[in-house]
């Protein structure tokens, strides 16, 4: 039974194929190796992470358990870019708790959760500076997301970062303009009510 499951899992990832390993992001399957560990022979996917200069060996039977998955398709990549256009959702909890949640999302390997972190921690030119830890989490999420977007769209990571930051910047301007218009309407309404009362 285990051999049959291994054979199915072995076929699910091909040599040279991009995969996402939750704790490290996008890597390339470079082969399958057999290793003897504690007297048992295990077959392992060999995954190389170019950006981290890291090679990882994942036992074939542990692939689902560790959350290794295929690269997102273009539809999911587009949906992640749409998430960047939304209004940031910042919970009113202590930073340490939010930081843990952001860290968990970054290490989940889920492209949509990465997009949420990038959106929520992005700061435009007109916004207050980030703390060091906020900046670290933002950059980690942005880099992880950009690697996957770059692999999906077959472009460089630098181009992917520019694309993501372009979407974020444009969205921030739209949201700021909408907030300014809402504030102006509110001020006009207040002035009108004061005029009627006088």
All structural domains of the chain with their residue ranges: 2-70, 74-182
pLDDT of residue 12: 78
Q: What is the CATH number of domain 74-182?
A: 1.20.58.1290
Report pLDDT digits (tens) over 33-46.
988 888 888 889 99
Tell me whether residue 120 is exposed, middle or buried, using C-beta atoms within 10 angstroms of its C-beta: 0 to 12, 13 to 18, 19 or more.
Answer: buried
What is the rounded average pLDDT for all residues in the chain? 86
Output the CA–CA distances (angstroms, integers) from residue 83 to 73, 77, 114, 120, in the order listed. 16, 10, 10, 10
Q: What is the pLDDT of residues 10-24, one digit of tens each?
A: 677 888 999 999 888
Output the CA torsion sign for 120, 125, 131, 134: positive
Express each pLDDT in 101-114 by its tens digit.
999 999 998 999 99
Give the predicted TM-score (pTM) of the model: 0.80
Task: Give me the CATH topology for the region 2-70.
Answer: Thrombin, subunit H (2.40.10)
3 state DSSP class of 123? coil
């Amino acid at each position: 039974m285990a051999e049959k499951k291994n054979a199915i899992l072995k076929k699910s990832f091909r040599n040279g194929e991009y995969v996402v390993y939750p704790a490290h992001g996008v890597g390339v399957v470079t082969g399958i190796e057999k290793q003897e560990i504690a007297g048992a022979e295990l077959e392992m996917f060999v995954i190389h992470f170019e950006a981290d200069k890291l090679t990882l060996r994942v036992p074939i039977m542990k692939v689902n358990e560790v959350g290794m998955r295929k690269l997102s398709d273009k539809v999911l990549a587009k949906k992640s870019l749409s998430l960047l256009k939304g209004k940031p959702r910042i919970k009113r909890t202590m930073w340490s708790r939010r930081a843990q949640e952001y860290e968990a999302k970054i290490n989940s390997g889920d492209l949509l959760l990465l997009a949420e972190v990038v959106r929520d921690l992005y700061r435009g030119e007109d916004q207050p500076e980030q703390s060091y830890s906020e900046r670290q989490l933002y950059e980690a999420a942005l880099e992880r997301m950009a690697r996957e977007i770059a692999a999906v769209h077959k472009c460089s990571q630098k181009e992917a970062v520019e694309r993501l930051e372009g979407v974020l910047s444009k969205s921030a301007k739209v949201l700021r303009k909408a907030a300014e218009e809402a504030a102006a309407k509110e001020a006009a309404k207040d002035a009108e009510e004061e005029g009627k009362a006088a």
